Amino acid sequence: MNTVYVVTGTEAPARDYSIPGTKLSKIFTTIGAVANLVFAFNTGMLPEIQATVRQPVVKNMMKALYFQFTVGVLPMYAVTFVGYWAYGSQTSTYLLNSVNGPVWVKAAANIASFLQTVIALHIFASPMYEYLDTRYGIKGSALAVRNLSFRVVVRVGYLAINTFVASLLPFLGDFMSLTGAVSTFPLTFILANHMYLVAKDHKLTCLQKSWHWLNVCFFGCMSLAAAVAALRLIALDSKTYHLFADI
C-alpha cells in the first residue's frame, strides 16, 4: 500500500496540506482523530491477552507489547504519513479513491484493503465469538454439525449486522472516536495506571506515584474532551450526510 502511495504521490500535482475549518473546528477534529486512532490501535490488547496463555505469563505479555508498539506501529503510521504526503488534506474519505495509475494497481490495492478489513473485523469480533460460544454451550469438536452450523449462522449474522451498520452510517468514524473516548482511553490508560497504583501502593516512590496519577488525570481529561469532540462531530455530520451516503 505504501508503495502505491509513493508511486502515485511522486506523479501527483501540487497538494494542499492545510487543515480546513475554523480554529475551534480544528481543535475538535484533532482530539476526535486522537480518540479514533487510539480505538483503531487497541488491537494490541489481543496479543497481550493471548500471550498470557503460555508460561511465563509476564515475560510473554511484555514481548507481545514490545512487538506491538515497535514493529506493529510502523505500518500503521507509515500509511498515515505517506498517504498524507501523497494526497494532502483534500483527499477522498476512502483513500484509495485518490490512487492514480493502471487499473490493476487500483484493483490490487482495493483487494488488499478488503482482505485487511475482513481480518481486522474477525480480530475485533473474536471476544464476541467467545462470549456466544460460552453463552450457548458450544463445546467439543469445531467440525461437529451442531457447533459448525451454530457458528456459521451466528457469526455470519453478527458480521452482516456490523457491515449493515457501517454502511448505514457514512460517518461511522465519529462513533469510533466516541468508542475510543469512553472505552479505550479509560481501559488502556486510566484503569491500568490506577490498578498499578493500588497493587504497588507501598512499593512505589513518590515520583512514581506522581507519574501514574499524572497519567490518570491527563488521560481522564483527554477521555472527556474526546467524548465531547466525538459527539460534536456526530451532530455535525448527521446534518451533512444522509443514510447510506456514498462519500
Please state the φ and ψ torsions of residue 18, each to the nearest 5 degrees. Answer: -75, 155
Place of cell 491477552: 49
Whether the per-residue pLDDT at 158 is higher than 70: the answer is: yes
**Per-residue pLDDT reduced to its tens digit, 23-74:** 888 888 888 888 888 887 766 666 666 666 677 877 877 787 788 778 877 8
Closest CA to 190 of 202, 182, 179, 199: 182
Radius of gyration in angstroms for the set of CA atoms belonging to the chain, rounded to a whole number:
21
Which of helix, strand or coil describes residue 167? Answer: helix
Q: Where are the domains of the chain?
A: 2-101+169-238, 102-168
In angstroms, rounded to a whole number, what is the distance separating the alpha carbons of residues 73 and 55? 26
Whether the per-residue pLDDT at 229 is higher than 80: the answer is: yes
Place of cell 498517504: 83
In angstroms, rounded to a whole number, what is the distance separating the alpha carbons of residues 35 and 226? 6
In angstroms, rounded to a whole number, what is the distance separating the alpha carbons of residues 67 and 17? 32
Supply the pLDDT for residue 49.
65
Looking at this protein, which amino acid is placed at residue 34?
V
- The alpha carbon torsion through 98, 104, 107, 112 (nearest 10 deg) reads -100
